[in-house]
Amino acid sequence: MTVPPRYRLSEAEKDALLIEQAALIERMAARIAELEALVGKPRKTSANSHLPPSQDGLGRPPRKAKRRRKPRPSHPGVSRPLAPDHDRTERRLAEACPHCQAALSVAAQRCRHRYDHIDLPAVRPVVTRIELFGGRCGQCGRRYRAEAPAAMPPGTPFGPGIRALLAYLWRDNLDEGARRSGVLPHF
């Protein structure tokens, strides 16, 4: 808004200028009231709004540490019981003192700690080789061969169990990942 010198304005122009200035003053008063209302509110940060932490800025105050929950009361002497029917036992004897490296005798050692290590065995396919015997008939001279077992027909080497596993893995698109990780052998 350029203000021309006062002495050159007509009465109508002065009235229009006064109305324009009054509207400007009204807008500025509304904006000032809006800003004064914001002064009492905290600044939006990632802690009090949906803003990501990257928008907090460099000069943000450090976050207060969250109160830690009290640890659960411990129960001394309570742990998983040892399996009553373990498959094998591995006894480890110390050969030398870990502090002074002195040689230790087997007779002086006793069991200080006992625990179970539980794991699944490696999954291996059961490979059955079928040998069909045959020969030449002594009566008619024609060749013959024994019949294949009904559950294991010739043609595909895979039984129903491995076909189901392969279908499941193929469905989930994991067959290559399983082969890479060693779950499936290379056939």
Separation between Cα atoms, residue 45 and residue 50, nearest integer Å? 8
pLDDT greater than 70 at residue 91: yes
Closest CA to 94 of 111, 71, 73: 111
DSSP 154: S
Listing DSSP states for 72-122 in one string gives: PPP-TT--PPPPTT-S-------SB-TTT--B--STT-----------PPP
* 134-176 pLDDT per residue, tens: 888 888 889 988 888 888 888 878 888 888 887 877 766 654 5
What is the H or E stretch that residue 135 is in?
A: strand 134-136
Separation between Cα atoms, residue 46 and residue 57, nearest integer Å? 10
* 25-44 pLDDT per residue, tens: 999 999 998 888 878 777 77
Percentages helix, strand, coil for the chain, rounded to the nearest 5?
Answer: 30, 5, 65
Whole-prediction pTM value? 0.35
Tokens 């928008």 identify what position? 55
Separation between Cα atoms, residue 43 and residue 59, nearest integer Å? 12
* pLDDT of res. 162: 82
% residues pLDDT > 90 (the chain): 12
